[in-house]
Amino acid sequence: MVSLVAAAPSVTINFGKTLSKPSHSIVIFLALALIAVVPYLLVMVTGFTRTVIVLGLTRNAMGLTMPPNQVLTGIALFLSLFMMSPVLSQMNQVGLQPYLHGKASFSQAFDAAEKPLDSWMLAQTRTQDLTMLEAAAHQHPKKPTEAPLTTVIPAFLLSQLESAFVIGFVIFVPFLVIDLLVSSTLMSMGMMMLPPTLISLPFKILLFVVVDGWSLIVHALLASPR
């Protein structure tokens, strides 16, 4: 007896190497997602926070309203990109380019790109800040490099804030001395109705220009990451 039921034909689809590279739509989607989170990444994983705080404290120490906030933000942005350029180049080389050329999956590319950034942040993170957050999260990594980004990033931000205020304090001291000297001189002369800041401001600007203050501050930001 001959069976009238035919075997179901099997269909196989061979994409070849078309899936070895991410499609243009995926690349565009990732680019748009990156653009959306760039402001947050700029604040969280670069030296932007410390730089903009130090520049703002410098302006306040001099008693000025100039440069405006837009200028300080622009300076902090490009200084942060300058500091991060070796790290960004390495992340592009070991993570992004292999992913775009189909040599690594997204997870592999992310893990590879995470390592240079993680090492850079850990080099500027105080041990006590990282230890405190690890204890709060009940984490016990054997090495700091094994700590997750969710712990490293807050510790890095705390260290950046601490470093910014220490630098700001050092900047405030000479300007505070000038204010005290001018105030004491005016009081000894009986000129109590004259605002001391009106007299001390030119001297503070002169001091800042003579010592090439902006270059010293930028050098301090670049040379001492902590």
User: Does the predicted TM-score (pTM) go above 0.85?
Assistant: no
pLDDT of residue 114: 78
> Which pLDDT tens digit goes with each residue over 91-148?
878 777 777 777 777 677 777 777 888 888 888 888 888 888 877 777 777 777 777 7
DSSP 3-state assignment of 24? helix
C-alpha to C-alpha distance for 74 and 129, rounded to whole angstroms: 29
Cα pseudo-dihedral 139, 141, 146, 148, rounded to 10: 0
Range of the domain at 101: 24-223
Q: Is residue 166 part of a domain?
A: yes
CA dist 145 → 93, 142, 192 (Å) = 20, 9, 59
Which tens digits make up the pLDDT trace of 158-207? 888 888 888 888 888 888 888 888 777 777 777 767 676 777 788 888 88
The Cα 172–Cα 186 span in angstroms is 21
Eight-class DSSP state of 96: I
User: Has residue 6 been placed in a domain?
Assistant: no
CA distance 162 to 224: 13
* CA–CA gap between residue 94 and residue 78 (Å, rounded): 24
Answer whether residue 139 is part of any domain: yes
Q: For residue range 30-39, list pLDDT tens digits in order.
A: 667 667 667 7
Would residue 140 count as lying in a domain? yes
More confident residue, 146 or 15: 146
Query: In this structure, is residue 199 part of a structural domain?
Result: yes
pLDDT tens sequence across 62-101: 887 778 888 888 888 888 888 888 888 888 787 777 777 7
Average pLDDT over residues 3-16: 47
How many structural domains does the chain have? 1
- Residue 11 falls within a domain, yes or no? no
pLDDT band at 213 (very low <50, low <70, confident <90, very high): confident
Is residue 7 in some structural domain? no
